[in-house]
Each structure stands twice: as C-alpha cells, then as structure tokens.
A and B are shown apart, each in its own frame.
Chain A
Amino acid sequence: MLGKQKGKADMVEKSAVSSQQSASKRINTPLAEDIVMSLRIGDMVLVNGLIVTGRDKVHKFLAHERPDKKDIPFELHGGIIYHCGPIIKKVDDAYKLIAAGPTTSMRVEMYEADVIKTYGIRGIIGKGGMGNKTLDAMKEYGCVYLHTISGAAAYLADRIKNVRDGWKIEEFGAPEAMWLLEVEDFPAIVTMDARGNSLHREVENISLEKLRQISQNE
C-alpha cells in the first residue's frame, strides 16, 4: 500500500510493495532541508501537514507577476505545491472536497524552476514527472518531486482531511485556484530527488532503446 489501508477484503491481493508499507517514510510540511536531501528516487512517502495546490494559471501568475510573499495568504517557504485541480463544493461557508488527484506536471515545466527558486518550494506533488530544467532547480535549491497515482481522485481525496482556504478562486476559477489543504498520510513516490536523479528519465531511456529496436522490425 502506498497509504494507510482502510478496507480489508479488497478485490485485489496485496502486492509485494504492500508488505513494505512500514518502509514508507512519513514526512511533515514544511519540509526541512535534511529530510529533502535524505529522500531518494523509489522511496515511498506519506505526506502530512499543509500543502497548496497550483496548476497552469497559478504557475504562470507566480512566474510572471512574482507577487510578494506577503501578498500570498499561504506560507510557501519549505512547502509543497500539488499539481491538482480538485472538485470542491461550497456547502454553506465551508469547502467540501469531493475528488483531488494529480494533473500532468510537465505543462508547468517552463515555470517551475523559477517558482522553486523564488518561493523556496521544497516539494512538488504531481503526475508524469518533469524535465531537466526543474530537475536542475531541484538539485540547486533542495526540492523533490513526489509522484502520486494519476486518476485516483476518490482514493486520494480520502487522505485530504480539510480544505483550509482558497486564493484566486474567482479570478482563476475553482479548478485552477490555489487551495490550502490539510493532508494526512497522503501517499506518493519520490521519482525525482534533490541529487539530480529522475526515475522518469530512466524509464524514458529504457523505452527509447526498445523503440529503436522494434522500429527496425517490419
């Protein structure tokens, strides 16, 4: 299991990784530099504490407008940005989270290095991994990429205990706003570490080799 297992009689048997659940590292936000540096690609983590969401519009805004930290209602330093456009329903005065899986991270590749540097981001949660520019920034400023399961929106929403607040809801629209979420044992895999390693790059290199081989066949 990537996370805390709640049900018992699941339709699928426990995988090999499930038995290593104890091997998942519990990490808390804000992330301390030594914790970030201790993480390696392939490590499973359970994130606890406050994280913010941010996707296309948030990244473009932060990279171009560079708002002062005091103008952003949430503390980003040492924080985690989750690439996610959740379904959130407003019930009376509270926000109710319905579903919240990751969105494709690569779309903010051109902005992320700047955002990491300017705002002191120590963790990115998303899907599909990111490119060399972000990987270099992660190494330089001490940040990790945490891959979480794409499309597992209901499963992951159950690990988000509370929607604390939202920023730019009207301006960017609810899916693209910055939401402050309180997470408990939110499961993810380190796929890009602060030492310049990327599991996504490894998989891509293997697939390129195979692509070359099979494209020779008729």
Chain B
Amino acid sequence: MLKLRDGIIELYKKVATSIPSDVEEALKTAYSNETEPLAKESLNVILQNIKIARTTSRPICQDTGFPVFYVKVPKGLSHQLIRDAIMDATRIATNKIPLRPNAVDVITEKNTGDNVGDHFPFVYTEETEEQTLIVDLMLKGGGCENLGQTYKLPAVLTFGDKEAIAERDFNGVRKCILDAVFRAQGRGCPPYTIGIAIGGAKDQVAFLSKRQLMRRIPDIHPDAAIAELENKILNDINSLSIGTAGLGGRTTAIGIKIATAHRHPASYFVDISFSCWANRRGRLIW
C-alpha cells in the first residue's frame, strides 16, 4: 500500500496547490464579464493568486480544508487498507506540502497537528465493478462549509420584513436556495459553486449536496427539468448582485449542481452545500 499512499500524497499536493481547469476558466469568464471595479479587481487578484500558487507549489488558500474522500474500490480490495493509506498519506502531506492542521478535538479543544482525528479526514468508500481504484479528493474550506443550509418544505422564509412561502415544488426549492445565498452574502468567498440535493432524509441530502461539488462546471444534468432548474437558479443568484468577494458584482455563483433522491411522503428536504471560488477537487486513478 506504500505506492497508493504516495499517490494520495501527490493527490493532496495537486488539489491544495492548483484548481481544476474548468473552475479557472469560469473565473476568467467572470473576470471578462465583470463591470464593477472592486469585483473585477478581486477577480484579478484571485487569478493572479491561482498562478502564484501553481508556480510556487504553495496552497491556494491557507485553509487547506476538511479533506473528504470518495473512493470507488474494485471487488476484493480491502476498504480498511485504503482508509489506512489515506490516514498515513494525510499525516505526511500535512508536513510535506505543508497543509494547515485543521483537525480539532472537540473534547480537549486541541489541534491534533497532523490533520488526522475522529472521522477526519472523512472517507466514503463504495464497491465498483471496474478493475481500477478511483480516489476522489475534495479539500473543503471551512468558511463556505459554514454557509450550508437544510430546509424542510413547506417552509416560511423571511426576506427582510416580508414572508415568502416555499412549497413542495421546484419554485419552493428555488426560493430556499436564494434565501441561503442571500444569507451567505460574501462570507464564504464567492463566486460560489453550489451543490443542492432534494430528497427525503437528512443524511441522504447532506451527502448528495456536497458530492455535487465534485461535478465539473460544464457538466449538464441528464434530466432536462433539473438542467433547466440549475440554469434558472444560477441566473437568479447572479441577479442578486452580491458579486465576487461580496462587494457587489455580476457573478455570485459559477455553477449550480442539483441531485435528487426519492423521498418519503412526509418529507421534502432541500440541502445546500457551498464551495468557495477555490473549489479544490481532484482524482487519482490507481
């Protein structure tokens, strides 16, 4: 498992110090389209920062995030051995790249110093029919993680001093997402990528909404109705004029990715996960 461990260390390095090309392209487009001076200047600095981080192999953001792994494991390979390799790789990568130690024990309030703790990193494994092991890594920033919301529909939302009803339909879903983005303002480093899940269980939608952040920006949902909803919500969010860095501007989000799951008749959850502009994700095929 030594080779796998080293592969995961390289994956950490790639994900922490460079952002995916589709995200960089979307940020360049946002820069070209921007007319507000402060937002345009912020995008200019962001694009320069991406370049500096890549050329000097330094983390893009000092918050190197909460590592989340999605692993597809061929039949017969031990899931536990893969988890062990991930933990070892995390300790080495933290010291080597370096990553910021982010694992804080909630009982003692001590930072473990090596990014390894209880359920930290968080690792999802699933079995695959394929012969190759696929390791997807997301380094999830804390600021944007805090902006996530879960809604239970129907819900009464408060827009300033006015109430808005979110019913159990796509229009209700749309209102919840606009509410979450309005509440977020610029606190989680826009332009955001936003993952959404609609379904019937709290853990189901939380998992699915975050996982949508692994989808590439140009990715179009196979269901036409959902694809249309993604587009509509993206346009609505950008008309809020919160903008890059939250100082006003045309691009508040660069991507909306929705997942659906069957729900229980009693339940209608809408879960929203935010990623900051530095949506750091990457894949190791082994």
The interface of chain A, by Cβ under 8 A from chain B, is 1-2, 7, 10-12, 14-18, 42, 57, 84-87, 89, 98-101, 103-104, 106-107, 127-129, 147, 149-158, 172-176, 187, 189, 191, 199-200, 202-204, 206-208, 210-212, 214-215, 218
Contact = CB atoms under 8 A, between A and B. Distances in A.
A84 B28 CA distance: 26
A207 B240 contact: yes
Interface stretch (B1-9, B51-59, B73-81, B82-90): B51-59
Given A147-B245, A207-B182, A7 B48 contact: yes
A64 to B, nearest CB: 14
Please provide the 8 A-B residue pairs with the shortest distance between their CB atoms, ordered closest to farther. Answer: A173-B111, A128-B187, A150-B189, A99-B62, A155-B49, A152-B49, A153-B62, A17-B41
Contacts of B198: none
Contacts of B260: none
Contact of B62 (A100, A104, A200, A202): A100
29 contacts: A15-B40, A16-B40, A17-B37, A85-B63, A87-B59, A87-B98, A98-B58, A100-B62, A127-B189, A127-B245, A128-B185, A147-B247, A152-B45, A152-B48, A153-B61, A156-B49, A173-B110, A175-B100, A200-B246, A203-B247, A207-B185, A207-B242, A208-B159, A208-B160, A210-B240, A210-B241, A211-B182, A214-B240, A215-B175
Nearest to B166: A215
B202 to A, nearest CB: 24
B235 to A, nearest CB: 9
B46 A175 contact: no
B240 A211 contact: yes
Nearest to B51: A11
A89 B185 contact: no
B185 A215 contact: no
B45 A155 contact: yes
Nearest to B35: A16
A149 B240 contact: no
A179 B186 CA distance: 26
Contacts, number: 198
A127 B45 CA distance: 14
B49 A218 contact: no
A100 B62 CA distance: 5
Interface string B193-229: 0000000000000000000000000000000000000
Contacts of B98: 87, 89, 98
A12 B47 contact: yes
A13 B187 CA distance: 27
Contacts of A2: 41, 45
A131 to B, nearest CB: 11
B267 interface: no
B138 to A, nearest CB: 15
Contact of B44 (A15, A85, A153, A199): A15
B92 interface: no
A51 to B, nearest CB: 15
B255 interface: no
Given A17-B41, A154-B53, A211-B240, A149 B46 contact: yes
B153 interface: no
Say which size band chain B's interface belongs to. Answer: 35 or more
B182 to A, nearest CB: 5
B185 A204 contact: yes
Interface string B92-119: 0000001111101000011101000000
Contact of B52 (A16, A154, A214): A154
A17 B36 CA distance: 10
Nearest to B157: A215
Given A10-B47, A87-B64, A151-B278, 18 more contacts: A2-B41, A11-B47, A15-B40, A17-B41, A18-B44, A87-B62, A98-B62, A101-B63, A127-B143, A127-B187, A128-B187, A128-B246, A129-B187, A150-B186, A152-B49, A154-B49, A173-B111, A210-B240
Contact of B185 (A99, A156, A157, A200): A200
Contacts of B173: none
B159 A211 contact: yes
Contacts of A191: 247
A200 B243 CA distance: 11
A68 to B, nearest CB: 23
Contacts of A87: 59, 62, 64, 98-100
Given A12-B28, A17-B38, A191-B247, A211 B178 contact: yes
Most chain A Cβ neighbours within 10 Å, of B63, B164, B241, B242? B63
